[in-house]
Amino acid sequence: MNYIDPHIHMTSRTTDDYEAMRKAGIVAIIEPAFWLGQPRTEVGSFKDYFSSLVGWEQFRASQFGIRHYCTIGLNSKEANNVALAEQVMEILPLFVLKENVVAVGEIGYDDQTPEEDRFFREQLELAKKVDLPVMVHTPHRDKKRGTIRSMEVILEHGIDPSMVVIDHNNEETVQDVLDRGFWAGFTIYPKTKMGNERMVKIVEQYGSERIIVDSSADWGVSDPLAVPKTANLMKIRGIAEEDIYKTCYRNALDIYGKSGNMKESDWASGFEIDQSKLFDGNSVLRGQQPAQTDSKNIIEN
């Protein structure tokens, strides 16, 4: 089975991860713009980061047989630095229309401050203007209140819930999100929070309509194989193949495909891998490493 991981921060992962992901059946990924683990101090570092999401990282993924898409946005933590956030808002329009951008995101609330609220709303207006889906990061603290507030604000701005993924759900938020017509993303964290056993129970209870599994893997303790592993566990637990297909592949394609920038034909017939290729003069190879020239070698090694 093929999988899509619609929320993974590959900038912080290794080429070993890319190889393992492709071997496990991941054919496409979405990398949301977020913070770096520490606050940025200059608008230039946002600019270079967004450039890498629409440039180098897309190329790097392609060298391992994976289609890479991204979302562009000002994350909620850094919305609290107002002077910098205002400068970031000025450069966002330059990036949201790039060819591999499938949503504005991840945006929303962290501590639910007035500053976060301001820039969340401004970016919802931007998404409306360019007609892109929205990926919403829900807060890890005070989650239920923050999730409901996020949805109320989105509706207030006149955005159709079918254009929005509310991410990082749990058992306490899923019903509210589905009832209001939004897509519900679930991040599978190893050991803590949402584990894949809990995810299986959610699919058993709520089915697969508008439910999406992702890894949110980044530079923290996380698992870039969370989607295929959860799919395997669903299989073992007797979840219907159709439900696995929808939660671990199809639903992500349906919602982010609304951007017009993500289509199954981008990867369905395979695409040529040539690791001797260069991006701006650089390749993924180091020293005298032999280049892999098709996906078979990478998958079977």
Q: Which residues bind Zn ion (CB under 5 A)?
A: 34, 216
Which CB sits closer to Zn ion, 58 or 275? 58
Which CB sits closer to Zn ion, 106 or 127? 106
User: What is the nearest approach in angstroms of Zn ion to the Cβ of residue 34?
Assistant: 5
Which CB sits closer to Zn ion, 58 or 138? 138
| Token code pair at residue 78 | 């850094």
User: What is the nearest approach in angstroms of Zn ion to the Cβ of residue 293?
Assistant: 33
User: What is the nearest approach in angstroms of Zn ion to the Cβ of residue 159?
Assistant: 20
User: What is the nearest approach in angstroms of Zn ion to the Cβ of residue 238?
Assistant: 31
User: What is the nearest approach in angstroms of Zn ion to the Cβ of residue 138?
Assistant: 11
Which CB sits closer to Zn ion, 196 or 216? 216
Which CB sits closer to Zn ion, 195 or 207? 195
Which CB sits closer to Zn ion, 17 or 243? 17
User: What is the nearest approach in angstroms of Zn ion to the Cβ of residue 214?
Assistant: 9
